[in-house]
A and B are shown apart, each in its own frame.
Chain A
Amino acid sequence: MTASPVSEVAGEGPRRSARTIVLEDRPVNLDGFVEEWPEVGLVAMDSPFDPQPSIKVENGVVVEMDGVARADFDFIDQFIADKAIDVETTEASMAIDAAAIAQMLVDPNVSRSEVIAVTSGLTPAKLLAVAKAMNIVEIMMGMQKMRARRTPANQGHCTSARDNPLQVVCDAAEASIRGFSEVETTLGVVRYAPLVAMAQQIGSQVGTGGPLTQCALEEATELDLGMRGITGYAETISVYGTEPVFVDGDDTPWSKAFLAAAYASRGIKMRFTSGTGSEVQMGNAQGKSMLYLEIRCILIAKGAGVQGLQNGSISCIGVPGAVPAGIRAVAAENLIASAVDLECASGNDQSFSHSPMRRTARLMPQMMPGTDFVCSGYSTHPNYDDMFAGSNLDSDDYDDFNTIQRDLQIDGGLRHVREADILAVRRRAGEALQAVFTYFDLPRITDAELEAAVYANGSKELLPRDVLEDLKGAQQIMDRNVTGLDFVKALEATGFSDVAENLLAVLRQRVSGDLLQTSAILTRELNPLSAVNDANDYSGPATGYRPSGARWEEMKRLRHVTSAANPEQEVE
């Protein structure tokens, strides 16, 4: 840190190569890269300080795991040993060579359930050894088979830099018609949450409907909104791979499991969140590699009995992204979540790189094999409106994304939609929210505001709202105990019966509990699709999910495709 950067001025110092100057200006050189430092955990997946795999079981209890005796377990070791590892099979599974287990993951002749029978007994260090045996293509092959749901899907962010509910209702409706199966929001001003979450819940059910919604907030409020049916699932329940980081958040694996049970008790879908890099970012990695610590998180999720996990570094992506093999480690953490039979919402949800090439390369290990949710937050608006601090993909990338799906015949869950259809659902969504605001005696939404929102790309084109009045209205929604069912009544009473019916169908799911099944989403017909009725059956070439039929026809459409029948025209 002693060298002075001040002398980097044109005209000073030795003559530079013209090519170097061109390369120096490439976006990739705005990204941050650092040297590995394994002693403190600044290393992706290959640290000399990671433990060696081991297991000892006595009287049905794990008495040693990864070189640590039970007496010396920290609370994460104890939780994993007691709740996540199958004591019946662990000794047999642990006896298999790590490379042989990696072979099973890749080999199409070994079924998904045969692999899970083995992974259920593996310790964190053993799972790390398995991942280390795999290159990036093998990781992708493993994901293709181990993804729980047969049909891949995608999730979007619906936020607004101004927390404007009208923008959120329109973007949620557009996200729905574009194919997202889940949308989530969060806030700049937290007190706005009830109105924005309500807008997202209503907007998502305009048109064909189907997407589930969540609102990322402090945990008690998030649970409250879920229980009221103002949201439909929960995702931002974070777990960590070292005890000090957990304790910093006043939590334990047991407290997180308790919270998970609260959601399950109301039939609300939920998943945990974790990711490589969080522990080292907080200075408490205890000298372990990022992937080893993330595997501990994956097994906490498994042990807590939740159906799924959002991982893939998430908000710490700048950390694995800066070290060698970091993006391979991120793909590996997704694979391991799927390999222990969890739903995986696989990241690609935070601003990652200045380089378009690097952004795409970071996406491919999830998009090519397909995951339960390729992005756990594709920004459905320009990134400046993304209150999750920006995503790897935003609304500017829609046409590129759809083209990549078509080029490679891979399904990232989205589709091209004609402008007229998009404008129609945006308008319908805005009108529905306008009517519901009036019904609940909330601050009025004017026709001029509506008009601006229907055609807007982002919040810069919106008319400003009276924020203080909106915040009072938001508080009223909470004080009056308004629930999702009240939204249904309001929509029905104001002439939006189709939206009301869709929303009621979504809310009804929490009674049947079908959305508690692994990897559950709703189809466009509002039927649950999960690992139970849509189990991944990949077993090599010509098997498993492949885009075909109506879905493939829909994927063939882009903004500009020259007609074969009449080359002077484009395909509508």
Chain B
Amino acid sequence: MTATERRSLSFVEVGEAVKGMRSDEVVLAISPAFADFFSQTIVGLPHAEVVRQMLAGIEEQEVHARCVRVKHSADLAVLAHTAAKLSGSGIGIGILSRGTTMIHQRDLPRLSSLELFPQSPLLTLETFRNIGSNAAQYAKGESPEPVPTLNDQMARPRWQAKAALLHLKETERVDKRCKPTEVTPDFSASATG
């Protein structure tokens, strides 16, 4: 990606999200402000690239991907568990605007999960592709190695306050009355920068 070719992403609402019937699907739940008020993660990865990588990771396993927007909560566990419950395979992914991500399974308790990626500043596009791929493998009934993640002692001083700020901004956009909606990603190349 160069400065002049930045892919942008918006999600088009299709209707109320319903439980999928195909057992070979993964549902991705995006947060209230994802690719909406926010356009990039905490470290500036464009949401368009993040979603593209996750979908590619799912599809490379020959698994179908479906997206839903959750507006009633900015709690990652709620997002991911909602996705899992809507998914025909029982496997879902939740992602917050800042990039924090979780792979969930519908039969697990909400505060448990298959894989959690709590340190949003350390997630790369490659990590997101692997997350998609792992979720798809769970959907096929496989047991993939958990996606390796980085650890950084100094992430706290650099990112903790910004993470709190982003969470507060996301929480402002929560509308408890809304039900999850089925959405389709609309990628378009636009000249920016």
Binding site for B on A (CB under 8 A): 1-2, 4-7, 9, 12, 30-34, 37, 40, 42, 277, 280-281, 283, 315-319, 321-323, 350-354, 383-384, 386, 389-390
Contact = CB atoms under 8 A, between A and B. Distances in A.
Q: Identify which of A12, A32, A40, A42 gathers the most chain B CB atoms within 10 Å of its CB.
A: A32
A34 B157 contact: no
Contacts of B168: 37, 40, 42, 280, 283
Interface stretch (B11-19, B36-44, B62-70, B128-136): B36-44
A235 to B, nearest CB: 20
Contacts of B159: 32, 318
A285 B121 CA distance: 24
A283 to B, nearest CB: 5
B143 interface: no
Contacts of B158: 30-32, 318, 354
Contacts of B165: 34, 37, 42
Contact of A5 (B38, B44, B171): B44
B150 interface: no
Contact of B156 (A1, A34, A323, A390): A390
B161 A319 contact: yes
Contact of A321 (B3, B74, B157): B157
Contacts, number: 93
Contact of A281 (B6, B153, B160): B160
Contacts of A37: 165, 168
Given A40-B168, A280-B168, A318 B153 contact: no
Interface in B151-193: 153-154, 156-165, 167-168, 171, 192-193
B161 A33 contact: yes
Nearest to B153: A390
Nearest to A161: B151
Interface residues of B, number: 25
A208 B39 CA distance: 59
Nearest to A326: B161
Contacts of A34: 161-162, 165
B161 A383 contact: no
Given A6-B3, A6-B6, A42-B168, A32 B160 contact: yes
B193 A352 contact: no
The 8 closest A-B pairs by CB, nearest first: A318-B160, A322-B161, A390-B153, A4-B193, A318-B156, A6-B3, A6-B193, A40-B168
22 contacts: A4-B6, A4-B192, A6-B3, A6-B193, A32-B158, A33-B161, A37-B165, A283-B74, A316-B160, A317-B156, A319-B161, A319-B164, A321-B157, A321-B161, A322-B160, A322-B162, A351-B157, A352-B156, A354-B158, A383-B153, A389-B153, A390-B156
Contacts of A317: 156-157, 160
B32 to A, nearest CB: 13
Contacts of B154: 30, 351, 354, 390
A1 B160 contact: no
Contact of A1 (B37, B153, B193): B37
A360 to B, nearest CB: 14
B3 A4 contact: yes
Contacts of A283: 74, 164, 167-168, 171
Nearest to B172: A40
Nearest to A4: B193
A353 B157 contact: yes
A322 B38 CA distance: 21
Contacts of A318: 156-161
B156 A350 contact: yes
Nearest to A33: B161
Contacts of A7: 3, 193
B160 A319 contact: yes
Contacts of B164: 42, 277, 280-281, 283, 319
B157 A1 contact: no
A351 B167 contact: no
Contacts of A353: 157
A1 B40 CA distance: 8
B184 to A, nearest CB: 23
Contacts of B156: 315, 317-318, 350-352, 389-390
B86 to A, nearest CB: 24
Contacts of A30: 154, 157-158
B157 A31 contact: yes
Contacts of B3: 4, 6-7, 9, 12
Given A7-B193, A281-B164, A319-B164, A352 B157 contact: yes
Contacts of A2: 39
